Structure 1
């Protein structure tokens, strides 16, 4: 797991400054502290650099990137892991190929000449982002994994393309503009982003399951985007529902075990994250069953019984004889590290869970671990969120008897009341664009689209005017592939929308890679193995949610591994306690507001309206404000802080100068 960076000029004869490439690697030192490498060949108008975290093939010389093919035609920088690469390498070796390293990355240099880019990707299993330059065709490929587990950003300057694993890598380039956009800021305030976008003008993400091809011809760059993979649910009625539920239970168990086994492969120790949910407990249970030695399990605890999952996690750790390490966090620790977290997430956060996960990854590294297996992706594939149950009830149970519908309704009313206003909407919200494209407004987006008025009021009047006719629902819905929605069951549609928005834009960003790699730690989400995902899409909706029981098939597949308390437990969304839950947390949040969202700081940043922020804060003391309104208020204020910190970190700060200073401090210099 590493950090990549590069530049691709319009002109072949325009060389790339090697020290700039080194600086771009240095500013993402946290992603790869073990080594760095760069190339800037003459007369190719391109350069690449790489910051390395050694996990496979620890040999410094052999594993150093960029990788270059034997014929000097292909240049590669890669971030992530390719599982099952040993088998692929053995097959290629039997065909006469010779490898320079034991690295998983190198297989691309051998697959691509034989098969081309799309067929090459079919061989790749895991989480990855890479850049591949083909000298013969004079083109650059930017490729991101199927779910967007690993990040990859790009932008265009007057000279050409700049790309990297993080925004700060692009901003280390002096010709990359650093400016918050009206649309980007608005979407930060309402939490949900338009897929492929960022908060900054002209800065794009490679979308999950996509290839960006940059072809150079006569001093011009032709940029094209191509989707190579998508989550593909069967058309309603085409499920293999003549199979009984045991077929799917057995299939999930078999596919998940295989995914876990692949992700336990490393040349360094591998641990597990452990909360009180079925997902991480299943991963720990399978890991413990496969391994010969005790698994190290890392658990986050909070100073609030309502939000703390430590007791159930400990029960699971004891059942598997895992060596559990519990990090108990207070409000002070969460808010003291808020600013540092935004430097790494490069987007706003609605809850301090992101801070907690950053501190957890720090604890993992302090215990001399570089790799952990995690449970992300389970709720997306097996319909675990309460929002999915609500959509199933509203749109997917037309034939259900009235008595059973009443049981469903009661179950929904009783579930996850702590998260109304954030994970569940506090009141219904309808987007005409979502109704048109999806058929209904998925519950998972309603909380955030409902923040429209909050978001608009918080913008400066001139930005508000720019967005006078802007429709966030339309902007998001227009990115969906209608072919993946037409004819699908309502539950499939709800899961598809979540995977395209909240999974990549939130869970895998500020809840995953960015806060894990902040401390040079690789997280491996076994549930997001695309072979397992394919099987999961084939499970009929009535087995994903059976009766009012979410994740039914997964729950049954893992029944023998789970403590009975957990097996019977309803889904509990994992969050840190919001600021309104006690005075000390609220005071800590207000201290941050005074530091980063004071009138002078807000006016200097020039994107938010200070009087609107102040009005929002004052409304907190309104005795008529309900709990779910306060949850939503907390989320919006966290986003306000985040917007101000994005300006502080990436616009007010001279990032190119900071990158040079980092390189000097590390001794990373051109040789």
Structure 2
């Protein structure tokens, strides 16, 4: 687990300039890899590759960049490549040499043997940058689901890349500037796949590679999709549930066992959901020693599920580390710090809670945990999946206003793409409508010319949704948007790596994921029970209370639920949303924004209050991003 960054500027070959620029880019990625730093330059071509290392596998022999003896190939890897011992042995039998015994060491000889198709052999979560000096070719690769981040900027001078946008913004050819269209998307939570909050900086999409080649003195770029989350056009009409239950069980055991392998201790994140509890239950059996389990507890019973987590910890004999969070931890300096790490806005302070949790994990001398992300995507766990297939069954409870809409909405772009408007999009359409009156005249004009809802739909491959079951369509479109743009960024990697801690989401093992797409919808959701096939696979692992429990809203308590939290948010509003700051950013109408906030604190309808909280969070963070990245304001110190 590491940070990678670099650039290719063919016209810039001054060694001092290249080294100075790369050092600045590496400095802001130090949190991703505090154990070691490395670099490789091809001065005659203006190529620089940089790496910051968090040592987890091959502790004393994992230096990067990894290169061939002749130096004509070099590679940097962020993430984990599982099954590397078997691959390394196979390569040795074929007389291909690995440089060292870290998992990353197998990637370069695989490329030398197989060419670009070597990525098909890789299992795990990874981002890779490989430079082939013989072919004058640069390849940026991102894992199948986008667990590990990788960004890039292409301009007339060349290409710049990094594990995080902040490293790219350190390059002199990239000017930090917030993108107005991206601001609209952040206000409604759903980013267009492949975009970021910053103009000129793109996200390499999951399962894609960017290929850059030097041709006649100019860099030419193209993207290629090498994997996708593909659902079949038809399912088994007479499925045997027991077969699929066993299939899930076998593959999940293998996925967890694979992710427990490391040269450092590996713990588990533990909430009160069946996903993380399943992970802990399997890990307890697979490990020889007790497993360390890390749990977040909130000061609001409606949002806290630590009592269920404790039940699971007691059942497995895990050593549970419980972190209790209040408004003091969720707002103020930690909120600002989490925003800087996220590089985009987030609707709920769960991101801040995750930042605190990764900090606690490192304080306990752990560098890696196995997590439960991805289960809902594979097995139809979210309430909006069930609604898309089976229809509306309730008003959504705590989900209403946040991830479920209280009314049925449609949009022509989504109707054309899917045959319906996915339920996960609908609450964010309502958020956008709530935001419209708050926008400045310039942003109002932009919104008249640009339809952010349609822009997200346009980024989805229609060939992957047409002719599919409604549940498959819902799961696919969510996975292409919110899984990568939300759960695996500000809800995952960015908050974990902020404190030099690696998360390993076992459910997103591609062997398990590819199998899950073949499970008929009526087995994923059976008799109205979400994730039925997983529940049955884990029936002897989970406590009865959890096995029978419906999906719980894993969110931090919004500010409107507590006057103390409201006061904490108001302090941030008083600092970040002054008339001068609002005018400088230029996204909002000052005369409309503050009356909205005053009215939001008086709202008594829970659904509308949650929606107001979302708008306030996003608004605050857009101004924080402006201050942190454009104006260069210093980050606060968190006690």
- Counterpart of 2:558 in structure 1 is 578
- Counterpart of 2:335 in structure 1 is 338
- Counterpart of 1:527 in structure 2 is 507
**Separation (CA, whole Å) in 2 of partners of 1:265 and 1:610:** 54
- Counterpart of 1:620 in structure 2 is 600
- Provide, for residues 571-626 of structure 1, a one-character-per-residue CA deviation record: whole Å limited to 9, x for no partner: 11200000100111111111111111111221122333222221221222445x51
**Separation (CA, whole Å) in 2 of partners of 1:137 and 1:377:** 38
- CA contact 1:186–1:459 (8 Å) conserved in 2: no
Pick aligned residue for 1:632 from 611, 614, 618: 611
- CA contact 1:419–1:631 (8 Å) conserved in 2: no
Task: Report 1:160-239 matches (<5 A).
Answer: 160-235=158-233, 238-239=234-235
- CA contact 1:271–1:373 (8 Å) conserved in 2: yes
- CA contact 1:18–1:39 (8 Å) conserved in 2: no
- Counterpart of 1:404 in structure 2 is none
User: Deviation of residue 459 (structure 1)?
Assistant: 2.9
Pick aligned residue for 1:424 from 404, 407, 414: 404
Say if 2:629 is the partner of 1:650: yes
- CA contact 1:133–1:140 (8 Å) conserved in 2: yes
**Secondary structure at 1:50 match in 2:** strand
Pick aligned residue for 2:292 from 296, 304, 325: 296
- Provide, for residues 362-400 of structure 1, a one-character-per-residue CA deviation record: whole Å limited to 9, x for no partner: 000000000000000000100000111111113xxxxxx
- Provide, for residues 270-318 of structure 1, a one-character-per-residue CA deviation record: whole Å limited to 9, x for no partner: 0000000000000000000101100000000000011101110000000
- Counterpart of 2:108 in structure 1 is 109
- Provide, for residues 184-216 of structure 1, a one-character-per-residue CA deviation record: whole Å limited to 9, x for no partner: 111111111000001111110000110111111
User: Deviation of residue 262 (structure 1)?
Assistant: 0.7
Pick aligned residue for 1:454 from 427, 431, 434: 434
- CA contact 2:6–2:160 (8 Å) conserved in 1: yes
**Separation (CA, whole Å) in 2 of partners of 1:423 and 1:466:** 26
Change (3 A) 1:432 1:14: farther
User: Deviation of residue 240 (structure 1)?
Assistant: 3.0
**Separation (CA, whole Å) in 1 of partners of 2:20 and 2:485:** 32
- Counterpart of 1:100 in structure 2 is 99
**Separation (CA, whole Å) in 2 of partners of 1:7 and 1:454:** 41
- Counterpart of 2:250 in structure 1 is 254
Tell me the C-alpha RMSD between the 2 structures: 1.4
Say if 2:394 is the partner of 1:413: yes
- CA contact 1:298–1:325 (8 Å) conserved in 2: yes
- Provide, for residues 150-201 of structure 1, a one-character-per-residue CA deviation record: whole Å limited to 9, x for no partner: 1111112442111000111011112211111110111111111000001111
User: Deviation of residue 139 (structure 1)?
Assistant: 1.3
Pick aligned residue for 2:149 from 148, 151, 159: 151
Task: Report 1:460-539 matches (<5 A).
Answer: 460-539=440-519
- CA contact 1:186–1:456 (8 Å) conserved in 2: no
- Counterpart of 2:590 in structure 1 is 610
The number of aligned residues is 633
Say if 2:268 is the partner of 1:268: no
Change (3 A) 1:458 1:75: farther
Q: Which moved more, 1:158-167 or 1:240-249?
A: 240-249
Pick aligned residue for 1:390 from 387, 402, 417: 387
**Separation (CA, whole Å) in 1 of partners of 2:252 and 2:305:** 24
**Separation (CA, whole Å) in 2 of partners of 1:517 and 1:56:** 16
- Counterpart of 1:377 in structure 2 is 374
Q: Which moved more, 1:600-609 or 1:365-374?
A: 600-609
**Separation (CA, whole Å) in 1 of partners of 2:402 and 2:498:** 26
User: Deviation of residue 538 (structure 1)?
Assistant: 0.5
- CA contact 2:362–2:500 (8 Å) conserved in 1: yes
- CA contact 2:18–2:46 (8 Å) conserved in 1: no
User: Deviation of residue 132 (structure 1)?
Assistant: 0.6
Change (3 A) 1:88 1:635: same
**Separation (CA, whole Å) in 2 of partners of 1:212 and 1:605:** 32
**Separation (CA, whole Å) in 2 of partners of 1:610 and 1:210:** 41
**Secondary structure at 1:63 match in 2:** coil
User: Deviation of residue 219 (structure 1)?
Assistant: 2.0
**Secondary structure at 1:43 match in 2:** helix
- Provide, for residues 91-150 of structure 1, a one-character-per-residue CA deviation record: whole Å limited to 9, x for no partner: 000011222211111212111122111x21110000001111111111111110110101
Q: TM-score, normalised by structure 2?
A: 0.97
**Secondary structure at 2:113 match in 1:** helix
- CA contact 1:192–1:448 (8 Å) conserved in 2: yes
Change (3 A) 1:159 1:322: same
- CA contact 1:426–1:629 (8 Å) conserved in 2: no
**Secondary structure at 1:240 match in 2:** coil
- CA contact 1:233–1:538 (8 Å) conserved in 2: yes
**Secondary structure at 2:153 match in 1:** strand
**Secondary structure at 1:47 match in 2:** strand
**Secondary structure at 2:425 match in 1:** helix
**Separation (CA, whole Å) in 1 of partners of 2:613 and 2:407:** 17
User: Deviation of residue 474 (structure 1)?
Assistant: 1.4
Q: Which moved more, 1:144-153 or 1:16-25?
A: 16-25
User: Deviation of residue 453 (structure 1)?
Assistant: 2.4
Say if 2:569 is the partner of 1:568: no
Say if 2:93 is the partner of 1:82: no
**Secondary structure at 2:104 match in 1:** coil
Change (3 A) 1:457 1:74: farther
**Separation (CA, whole Å) in 1 of partners of 2:591 and 2:486:** 29
- CA contact 2:560–2:601 (8 Å) conserved in 1: no
**Separation (CA, whole Å) in 2 of partners of 1:612 and 1:166:** 34
- Provide, for residues 344-363 of structure 1, a one-character-per-residue CA deviation record: whole Å limited to 9, x for no partner: 00000100000000000000
- CA contact 2:284–2:291 (8 Å) conserved in 1: yes
**Secondary structure at 1:428 match in 2:** coil
**Secondary structure at 1:588 match in 2:** helix
**Separation (CA, whole Å) in 2 of partners of 1:473 and 1:116:** 39
**Secondary structure at 1:39 match in 2:** strand
Unaligned 5+ runs, structure 2: none
- CA contact 1:68–1:74 (8 Å) conserved in 2: yes
User: Deviation of residue 449 (structure 1)?
Assistant: 1.9
**Separation (CA, whole Å) in 1 of partners of 2:436 and 2:153:** 27
User: Deviation of residue 492 (structure 1)?
Assistant: 0.3
- Counterpart of 2:124 in structure 1 is 126
- CA contact 1:491–1:541 (8 Å) conserved in 2: yes
User: Deviation of residue 11 (structure 1)?
Assistant: 3.4
**Separation (CA, whole Å) in 2 of partners of 1:146 and 1:450:** 31
- CA contact 2:81–2:123 (8 Å) conserved in 1: yes
Say if 2:244 is the partner of 1:243: no
Say if 2:8 is the partner of 1:8: yes
